[in-house]
Amino acid sequence: MDSRDEAETVQTSIIRSTGFWAPPDVITNAELVASYNAYAKRFNEEHADAIAAGDVPEVPFSSTDFIANASGIERRHVLEKSGILDIDHLVPRIPPRGFDDISVQAEFAMRAVKPALEKAGRDGSEIDGVIVASSAQQRNFPGLSCEIQNLIGATGWSFDLTMACASALYGLNIANAMIRSGQAKRILVCSPEIMTCINVHSRRDVHFIFGDAASAILVEADDGTPGGWDVLGTHTQNKFSNHLRSDYGFINIAERTVDPDYTPGLDQDGHKVFKDVVSFAPVVARDLMAQIGLEPEAVHRAWLHQANIRMVDMIAKRILGRDRTLENAPSILEEYGNTSSSSVVMNFEKNSEDMKPGETGIMCAYGAGYGVGAAAIRKR
Amino acid sequence: MDSRDEAETVQTSIIRSTGFWAPPDVITNAELVASYNAYAKRFNEEHADAIAAGDVPEVPFSSTDFIANASGIERRHVLEKSGILDIDHLVPRIPPRGFDDISVQAEFAMRAVKPALEKAGRDGSEIDGVIVASSAQQRNFPGLSCEIQNLIGATGWSFDLTMACASALYGLNIANAMIRSGQAKRILVCSPEIMTCINVHSRRDVHFIFGDAASAILVEADDGTPGGWDVLGTHTQNKFSNHLRSDYGFINIAERTVDPDYTPGLDQDGHKVFKDVVSFAPVVARDLMAQIGLEPEAVHRAWLHQANIRMVDMIAKRILGRDRTLENAPSILEEYGNTSSSSVVMNFEKNSEDMKPGETGIMCAYGAGYGVGAAAIRKR
Whole-number Å distance between alpha carbons of A214 and A108: 7
pLDDT at A4 over 70: no
B165 is catalytic: yes
pLDDT attached to residue B2 = 42
pLDDT attached to residue B5 = 41
pLDDT digits over A80-112, tens only?
999 999 999 999 999 999 999 999 999 999 999
Sign of CA dihedral B325, B326, B330, B333: positive
Contact B141 A194 (CB under 8 A): no
Using a CB-CB cut-off of 8 Å, the residues of chain B touching A95 are: 255, 258-259
ipTM over 0.90: yes
pLDDT attached to residue B265 = 87
State mean pLDDT over A285-300. 98
List, in order, residues 6 or more apart from B93 with CB less than 8 Å away.
Answer: A254, A257, A258, B80, B82, B83, B86
Burial B181-198 (b: 16+ CB within 10 A, else e): bbbbbbbbbbbbbbbbbb
State mean pLDDT over A167-178. 98
Higher per-residue confidence, A3 vs A271: A271
Please identify which of the residues B165, B190, B197, B364 carries the catalytic annotation: B165
DSSP string of B64-77, one letter each residue: HHHHHHHH---EEE
Q: Other C-beta atoms within 10 Å of A175: how many?
A: 29
Residues in a beta bridge with B299: B360
pLDDT attached to residue A1 = 40
pLDDT attached to residue A2 = 41
pLDDT at A191 over 90: yes
| Ordered mean pLDDT values, 10 residues apiece, chain B (380 residues) | 49 97 98 98 97 96 95 96 96 95 98 98 98 97 98 98 98 97 96 97 96 98 95 98 95 92 91 97 98 97 96 98 97 97 98 97 98 98
With a CB-CB cutoff of 8 Å, which residues 278-307 of chain B face chain A? 287-288, 291-293
Tell me the three state secondary structure of residue B250.
coil
Using a CB-CB cut-off of 8 Å, the residues of chain B touching A375 are: none
The nearest alpha carbon in chain A to B288 belongs to A1
| Interchain CB contact of A230 with B (< 8 Å) | yes
| Interchain CB contact of B160 with A (< 8 Å) | yes
The nearest alpha carbon in chain B to A234 belongs to B1
List, in order, residues 6 or more apart from B325 with CB less than 8 Å away.
Answer: none
The nearest alpha carbon in chain B to A258 belongs to B95
Using a CB-CB cut-off of 8 Å, the residues of chain B touching A149 are: 238, 240
pLDDT digits over A17-30, tens only?
999 999 999 999 99
| Interchain CB contact of A156 with B (< 8 Å) | yes
| Interchain CB contact of B233 with A (< 8 Å) | yes
pLDDT attached to residue B286 = 98
Topology (CATH) of B230-379: Peroxisomal Thiolase; Chain A, domain 1 (3.40.47)
- Of the candidates A182, A197, A237, the beta carbon closest to that of B251 is on A197
Please identify which of the residues A146, A165, A190, A197 carries the catalytic annotation: A165
**How many residue pairs bridge chain A and chain B with CB atoms within 8 Å of each other?**
334
| Interchain CB contact of B156 with A (< 8 Å) | yes
pLDDT attached to residue A9 = 64
Tell me the three state secondary structure of residue B283.
helix
pLDDT digits over B104-160, tens only?
999 999 999 999 999 999 999 999 999 999 999 999 999 999 999 999 999 999 999
Whole-number Å distance between alpha carbons of A143 and A148: 9
pLDDT digits over B330-345, tens only?
999 999 999 999 999 9
pLDDT attached to residue A3 = 41
pLDDT attached to residue B237 = 98
